[in-house]
Structure 1
Amino acid sequence: MRKKTQIIAAVMLFSTTVAVSQMKVREELPEKYKWNLADLYATDAVWKEEKERMQQQMQEIVSYKGKLTQSATFLLEALELNSKLVKDMARLFSYAAMKSDQDTRVTKYAGMKQELQQLFSEYGALTSFIEPELLTLQEEQLSTFLTKEKELATYKFYLMDLLRKRAHRGSEEVEKVMAYSALMSENAANIFNTFFNAEFPYPEIELNGDRVKLNSANFALYRASEDREVRRKVFASYFGKLNEFQRTFGTQLYGNINAALFTTKARNYGSTLERALDSDNIPTTVFHNLVKNVNGNLETFHRYLNLRKRMMGVDTLHYYDLYAPLVEEVDLAYTVEEAVENILQSLQPLGADYVEVSKKAFQERWIDMYPNEGKRSGAYSNGSAYDVHPYILMNYNGQYNDMSTLTHELGHTMHSYLTNKKQHFANANYSIFVAEVASTLNEELLNDYMLQQIKDDNVRLAILGNYLEGAKGTLFRQTQFAEFESMIHDKVANGEALTGEDFDNMYLDLTKRYYGHDKNICIVDDYVKSEWSYIPHFYYNFYVYQYATSFTASTALSEKVLKGTNEDRKKYLDFLAAGSTKYPVDLLVDAGVDMNTSEPFDLTIAKINAVMAEMETILTRIGK
């Protein structure tokens, strides 16, 4: 049973990718490049009518107060009603959130999103009696109920998991207060999102004779320029502007940590990390072992950085060099239709059904493809509209990395699609811990497919390099983020008040250690201290480590999909359709990967080193 659903590409007809500078106004974008939110609600007026209906219908849940443990029938009725109400509210929230994300400057949709956040809070207060009542159930009584009402089997995992967390739940009054606290707990994240996406005064700089506003999409585009001076200027300007608002960003992040600490103490957990991981029954050792293993293998990361320095032909590698093309004069630009074709071909190992559904995502306007003024930065897949289909937000710039991001988000979308088709809504909310497996495995398949097609040494170097970029960004960079999170949460838990300057100092020191600054492997310029301030994931509380663990799991699983049997593929597809019917670590064991061992990490490090060895061989052969 879910209290709140977590909001986690038509074969295009244009023959060329449309430049970002031409796509600043949303109204100018062809409809085929924009998601069709009418699949959710035909109009805003219909959305409002549904919301008002929900406000009335949700009052019905109170009629079950005091009855949940009286009979199996009452329990089933209450759980079914709750599931339906939350499912409908999640659909309402999806519409409002995506409408807001497509242009964060439109206050109407930001207001609609806030209305739904308030509705969830109100509903949480109404249902605050449910879990305290359920926690009075004894295992014997629950077993009897399950025998009497066979349909309760749908909720068995939820009920057993709730009893496992008995020590972290309170009385009805405590649960009501916790529900109302949700009105405040997301304030820091909401303020950050609005400020950074809608009101932040992005710097304007002159590049090649043109004035360019360095919004998030353009920063991502120009930081990958082949012109080193452009990259240096872009990094210095972007991070420099972030630094001007250091106090504001610092206050926001500090407020978010305090909100997490409040919930942690109210729920009787020893740390914010323990609370974050306990929702999926993941031992904190999984987190700490990841950080330990990555720190123990920084030599592999430094080998990558030295390889990048060699390939770029620079005497000294700087942080602003890390997104530049590894190979000069190699065309790694892809139109949308080229990206779609490559992605669909790369997914063939997952079977015809998987590919056919993926085509629907591209053909039926599930995707909002291009950046526009005010649009939320980055990319995501939202699969929370259970009765409709998932959606994807993109900011496509036509680079290989954008194609990789598109298949990454498609992995999430297919995970949601398959889970929603197979599971009852109550079991369709899969964990983020396993979510990133589906997305990163898609990236692995794309890289493998592209390498099969390409024999040219320079292009091959570029594709192999892209894999290393993924390893850098997903395994090493996200673990660095996770370690930073751990540091700042621990300090606040110990009573320290943190400012933007404190965040700056900790982030810069940690980054210098990861990138070998003192060993002259990669120079981390002082303005990099501001990078933490624009990372939205720090408001999700111990979210990012899962990117890294998923990267290692997907490496192991991709080998089984590519080289294994039909049974191996079936296990993986069953894993994608399993939802939350088991704990995520157990689901991965069923799929063929045991995260309680170091094997997935060891296999990943071995693959990274093998890729670098192949690249070094090519470089020697071509005389570089």
Structure 2
Amino acid sequence: MKKIFTSLLSFAAILLLTSTSFAQKERSEIDDQYKWKFTDLYDSNEAWSEAKNQLSEKMNKVADYKGKLGQSSTNLLDYLQFSDELMKEGYRLYIYASLKSDVDLRDADNMARVKEIRQVFVEYGQKASFVTPELAAIPEATMKKFISEEPKLEVYKMDLMDVYRMKKHTLTELEEGIMAKTGLITGTANSAFSVFSNAEMPRAKFVIDGEEKELTSANFSVARSSADRKVRQEATKVYWDNYLKYEGTFGEMLNGQIKVDVFRAKARNYESCLEASLKGNNIPVEVYKSLVKNVNKNLDTFHRYLLLKKRMLGVDQLMYSDIYAPTVKGVELKYEYEEAQDLILKSLKPLGKEYTDVVDKAFKSRWIDIYPTAGKRSGAYSNGAAYDVHPYILMNYTGQYNEVSTLTHELGHTMHSYYSNKTQPFATAGYATFVAEVASTFNEVLLNDMMQKELKDDGQRLSLLMSMLDGFKGTLFRQTQFAEFELAMHEAAEQGVPLTGKKLTKMYGDITRKYYGHDKGVCKVEDNVAVEWAAIPHFYMGFYVYQYSTSFVASQALAAKVMEGDKEATKRYIEFISSGGSDFPIELLKKAGVDMTSSEPFEKTIASMNKIMDEIENILDKRN
């Protein structure tokens, strides 16, 4: 009943490229307290292999249920409980393999384990291909009767009844079996992208502090935020020129993923790839399109932010290579990891002692892999799919304030998973990605609110307020820009347009120039920046990024009430992150107090952004 890889692959990475120091240590040089404790999952690689073999053997028993699901409520319950146990262990196996791989993408043994467990699931998908068609064949009245006579089926009611909503997209047993077999190849483009971009792609050389070094994604993230404009511009040129050398290769990889999306949508009788992506969680297509429309209507607000950045940098013409530059001279908010812990714990106090106690446990019990090391996956994410264990967080922490924000962001995901796993049975513990980003961005709002109250110096306040605006830029506008590009790519592919690397670069470049007001003189976008699409891993995740934007909007509304001291709002929020997937995402948010089918949350978010800019302008005017 659960989608096998939904929660496994929904890694939350608010930052595309995480800031790291120029010199990366080997993993062996990092103290164990700052690294994941894999033994919470399995004692050793050998124990993992044994558990994997046992799971593979158990999966063969699914054939015993064929033709029996509709015979009685007892048979149906037996199958669902059997499936839950398999998935629970399967998730655990997959997480161990993927985490081990992510700490060193150069290790072939780690990568092999990921492929092994994926193969196990693909084979199981073929063996269990009869399940969905067989469930769909049960008359709806019979299904309701089964649920009423067997109380233990109540926990599965939402999924069981949803079968009838999705019946149009359910195939025959033979067809479902074929679709399951495609799992052997449909992840190839994503895997190739990950290995090539993180480990094998040749890097250009760049002179740093008088020494020529490779300009890795981590080094570029630091260089593009340099106070020296010449360094920013040169790094931007060198970095994206290097990507242009492999434009064709990246184009083929992304084209391969888009073809997979188009095939799946057509095979399951969806009108579009977008509908195929959203319908499973009962998200109206209009929610996606309205987000893009609303953001485009408010690009003047984004341009106001960019012009404010231009003013603070003191440049005649703002360039795309300037957008990550520090805007307050002589002020840099940096915090050691232990300081970041204290700040985060203090900011989360409005959510109660139980909440902060668990966050403190995450810090102390090695739930977090903290520092960047050679071969480690870039970015950040939280994975909470190990139902009987605890969530795991990947970081690449070096002390900048935006990384403190990223850490509390990922802890939001972790606490969402923790509360859902603690409160919900396994069948409803997993939550949709549409709500996944609410808890993470909610934590960021609390952190920024606390920091605003803590900092009294105008320079520090300006730095913080600009960091908050950078959050609006990165989460609302940038992710919607990505979403618009995703939609354009898929619509072009659905119309038979060949997606070459050059075509994708032109599409991405046109959208980027529109967002940044290139033709209006707001922010000039360097030509080679148009290949930035090639570095975005989220484009391999099928309409994922728009949920950063919608969740950001929802969390702004929810957090405002909690920060006002509304105890009922706080109670509703804890209930929300404890709800898992017990209802559809739109309905869960309505219960929490925000209606994402209306424009009101978006309008309030834009108003909040303008309020921050008003405050910045007041400080600047006073200082001048």
Q: For 1:563 and 1:139, how far apart are their aligned partners in 2?
A: 46
Structure 2 residue 331 is matched with structure 1 residue 330: yes
Q: Which residue of 2 aligns with 1:50?
A: 51
| In structure 2, C-alpha distance between the alignment counterparts of 1:341 and 1:325, rounded to whole Å | 24
Rounded Cα–Cα distance in structure 2 between residues aligned with 1:604 and 1:539: 28
Q: CA deviation at 1:21?
A: 4.2
Show CA shifts across 1:124-155 (max 9, x none).
11111111110012221111111211000110
Partner of 2:3: 3
Structure 1: any 5+ residue segments left out of the alignment? 9-17
User: Contact 2:305/2:469 (CA < 8 Å) preserved in 1?
Assistant: yes
| DSSP-derived class of the 2:137 partner | coil
Query: Which whole-Å CA distance do the structure 1 matches of 2:322 and 2:356 have between them?
Result: 36
Distance change >3 Å, CA 40–CA 117, structure 1 → 2? same
The equivalences for 1:344-355 within 5 A come to 344-355=345-356
Partner of 1:160: 161
Deviations 1:374-408 (A, max 9, x none): 11111000111111000000111210111110010
Please say if residues 41 and 92 of structure 2, whose CA atoms lie closer than 8 Å, have aligned partners that are also in contact: yes
Distance 1:365 1:175, change over 3 A: same
State TM-score, norm by structure 2: 0.97
Matches within 5 A, 1:422-441: 422-441=423-442
CA contact (8 A) 2:413 2:440 kept: yes
Aligned to 1:606: 607
1:94 maps to 95
Residue 213 of structure 1, CA deviation: 2.2
SS of structure 1 residue aligned to 2:207: strand
Aligned to 1:182: 183
**2:60, 2:573 → 1: CA distance?**
41
- When structure 1 is superposed on structure 2, of 211-220 and 476-485 the one drifting more is 211-220
TM-score for both structures, normalised by structure 1: 0.97
Tell me if the contact between 1:2 and 1:426 (Cα under 8 Å) persists in the aligned partners: yes
- Whether the 8 Å CA contact 1:3–1:86 is kept in 2: the answer is no
Give 1:14's aligned residue: none
Distance 2:24 2:253 in 1: 31
Deviation at 1:601, TM superposition (A): 0.2
Q: Does the CA contact (< 8 Å) of 1:261 and 1:493 recur in 2?
A: yes
Q: 2:232: which partner in 1?
A: 231
> What corresponds to 2:306 in structure 1?
305
Equivalent residue letter for 1:92: L
Q: Alpha-carbon deviation of 1:338?
A: 0.9
Equivalences for residues 357-396 of structure 1 within 5 A: 357-396=358-397
Q: Quick one: distance in 1 between partners of 2:22 and 2:297?
A: 43
Go from structure 1 to structure 2 and tell me whether the alpha carbon gap of 1:533 and 1:477 turns closer, same or farther (over 3 Å shift).
same
Identify the residue that residue 508 of structure 2 maps to in structure 1.
507
Q: How does 1:140-539 map to 2 (within 5 A)?
A: 140-539=141-540
Residue 210 of structure 1 and its aligned partner are, at CA, apart by: 2.3
Measure the CA separation in 1 of the matches of 2:503 and 2:395: 33
Give the Cα separation in 2 of the matches to 1:235 and 1:427.
45
Deviation at 1:564, TM superposition (A): 4.2
Distance in 1 between the 2:36 and 2:214 partners?
26
**Residue 71 of structure 1 aligns with which residue?**
72
1:21-50 residue CA offsets vs partner (Å, 9 max, x unmatched): 454211111111111111100100000000
Deviations 1:42-101 (A, max 9, x none): 100000000010111111111011000000000000000001101101100000001000
Cα distance in 2 for residues equivalent to 1:345 and 1:161: 42
Are the equivalent residues in 2 in contact too, given 1:23–1:29 (CA < 8 A)? no
Gaps of 5+ in 2: 11-18
Distance 1:212 1:369 in 2: 24
In 1, the alpha carbon distance for the partners of 2:512 and 2:386 equals 39
Looking at structure 2, the residues matched to 203 and 95 of structure 1 have their Cα atoms a distance apart, in angstroms, of 33
Paired letter, 1:386 = Y
| One-letter code aligned to 1:35 | W
Does the 8 A contact of 1:217 with 1:395 survive in 2? Answer: no
Residues 336-374 of structure 1: CA deviation (Å, up to 9, x unaligned): 011111011000011110000000110000011111111
CA contact (8 A) 2:332 2:463 kept: no
Structure 1 ranges of 4+ moved more than 6 A: none
Aligned residue for 1:11?
Answer: none
Give the RMSD, CA atoms, in angstroms.
1.1
Cα offset, 1:123, TM superposition: 0.8
CA distance in 2, matches of 1:19, 1:247: 28
Is the contact between residue 20 and residue 396 of structure 2 (CA under 8 Å) also seen in structure 1? no
CA separation in 2, counterparts of 1:236 and 1:35?
Answer: 36
Q: Secondary structure at the match of 2:483?
A: helix
**Secondary structure class of the residue paired with 1:205:** strand
Would the aligned equivalents of 1:221 and 1:397 in 2 still touch at CA under 8 Å? no
Pick which of 195-204 and 163-172 moved more: 195-204
Residue type at the aligned position of 1:45: E
Secondary structure at the counterpart of residue 473 of structure 1: helix
Contact 2:438 2:554 survives alignment (8 Å)? yes
Cα deviation 1:132-181 (Å, max 9, x = unaligned): 11001222111111121100011001111122100000111011111111
Q: Once the two structures are superposed, what CA deviation does each residue of 1:484-524 show, in whole Å capped at 9, x if it has no partner?
A: 01111101100111100001111111111110011111010
Quote the Cα distance in structure 1 between the aligned partners of 2:63 and 2:3: 15
> Is the Cα–Cα contact under 8 Å of residues 20 and 221 in structure 2 kept in the other structure?
no
Aligned-partner residue type, residue 222 of structure 1 = A
Letter of the 1:361 partner, please give it: A
Between the aligned partners of 1:369 and 1:345, the Cα distance in structure 2 is 20
For residues 394-449 of structure 1, what are the alpha-carbon distances to aligned partners after superposition, in whole Å with 9 as ceiling and x for unaligned? Answer: 11121011111001001000001110111111111101100000000101010001
**Cα distance in 2, alignment partners of residues 299 and 3 from structure 1:** 40
What SS is found at the alignment partner of 1:135? helix
- Per-residue deviation, 1:570: 0.7
Q: Which residue type is aligned with residue 458 of structure 1? A: G
Cα deviations by residue, 1:289-348 (Å, 9 ceiling, x for unpaired): 000000000000000000000011111101011111121111311110111110110000
In structure 2, how many angstroms separate the alpha carbons of the residues matched to 1:564 and 1:287? Answer: 32
Give how far 1:19 is off: 7.5
Q: Does 1:25 align with 2:34?
A: no
Q: How does 1:131-142 map to 2 (within 5 A)?
A: 131-142=132-143
Instruction: Give me the whole-angstrom Cα distance separating, in 1, the residues matched to 2:590 and 2:110.
Output: 42
Give the aligned partner of residue 13 of structure 2.
Answer: none
What is the SS of the residue equivalent to 1:294? helix
Q: Hey, what's the Cα distance between the residues in 2 that align with 1:21 and 1:220?
A: 10
3-state SS in 2 of match to 1:381: strand
Q: Matched residues in 1 for 2:207 and 2:145: separation?
A: 72
Aligned to 1:185, what secondary structure does the other structure show?
coil
Question: Which residue of the partner structure matches residue 619 of structure 1?
Answer: 620
CA contact 1:436–1:546 (8 Å) conserved in 2:
yes
Q: How far off its partner does 1:208 sit?
A: 2.1
**Structure 2 counterpart of 1:380, one-letter code:** Y
Amino acid at match of 1:385: A
User: Which amino acid in structure 2 is aligned with residue 306 of structure 1?
Assistant: L
The answer as to whether partners of 1:588 and 1:595 remain within 8 angstroms in 2 is yes
Is it true that 1:39 corresponds to 2:48 in the alignment?
no
SS in 2 for 1:225: coil
Q: Name the % identity.
A: 50
Q: Quick one: distance in 2 between partners of 1:179 and 1:22?
A: 44
Give the distance between the partners of 2:623 and 2:212, measured in 1 at CA: 39
Corresponding position of 1:107: 108
CA distance in 1, matches of 2:385, 2:572: 24
